[in-house]
Amino acid sequence: MNILTDELPASVDISGQIYKINPDFRTCLNVIMAFEDNDLTPQEKQAILLSSLYPVLPHDMMEAIKQANLFLNGGKVSENEDEPMRLYSFSKDANFIFAAFRQTHGIDLQTDDMHWWKFLALFMDLGQDTTFCQLVSLRKRVKTGKATKEERAIAREMGEVLEVPDIDTRTLEEKEREAEFIRLVTQGKRK
């Protein structure tokens, strides 16, 4: 698929059947932000993914999830299964991203409609002089230990603005076991 010459997809092939998929960037961002939400269970996240992207739910749910993830990844298969360094959050950095689109591309994300893949291409080319890109760059230098003494001081002053929350990938059962463990430990301290 070549974004310069090919029409951007609005459907996916699931087990030989074509299903429409919602290509609007806002819908896709809402799905991604659901996956960033540590209060949602993995099953709730998958339900949001399926119900948001597919007007008609496919019969093969596992393939539908696989194709939805491929679509959200711009049609590219992820070769690296390791957890990438998390340098931004669409939820936390929304204002910075909005401003960066306006500054770099002259696009008002509140009024302009666009395909998710177009959004991704433009997102990957946000100007280095935007606050968002400077913030991401500082986060990377801090996380990799390459920040200068002055940058580390700035990072400490920025506090929560600089922090990107980790995504909790534990299952509901793991979360419940931890909550029970903490309850028992806390209860034992009171005795």
Please report the pLDDT score of residue 39 as a whole number: 87
| pLDDT surpassing 60 at residue 191 | no
pLDDT band at 45 (very low <50, low <70, confident <90, very high): very high
What mean pLDDT, rounded, does the chain reach? Answer: 90
Average pLDDT rounded to a whole number, residues 116-138: 96
The mean pLDDT value for 43-61 works out to: 95
Helix (H) or strand (E) run with residue 40 in it: none
CB of 85 closer than 8 Å to CB of 143 = yes
The Cα 58–Cα 19 span in angstroms is: 7
Q: Do residues 135 and 87 make contact, with C-beta atoms less than 8 angstroms apart?
A: no
Q: What is the mean pLDDT of residues 111-139?
A: 95
Convert the pLDDT of each residue in 21-43 to its tens digit: 999 999 999 999 999 998 888 88
pLDDT tens for 159-187 read 888 898 777 766 667 777 777 887 778 87
Cβ neighbour number for residue 96 with a 10 Å cutoff: 19
Q: Are 13 and 75 in contact (CB under 8 A)?
A: no
Q: Is the pLDDT of residue 189 over 90?
A: no
pTM of the full structure: 0.84
Where exactly are the structural domains of the chain? 11-72
Tell me, what's the pLDDT at 145? 94
Q: What angle do CA 115, 53, 123 make, to 5 degrees?
A: 35
CA dihedral angle for residue 164, residue 133, residue 147, residue 150, rounded to 10 degrees: -100
Instruction: Give the residue ranges of DSSP H helices in 19-169.
Output: 25-36, 42-53, 61-72, 94-105, 116-123, 131-144, 149-158
Query: Has residue 124 got a pLDDT over 60?
Result: yes
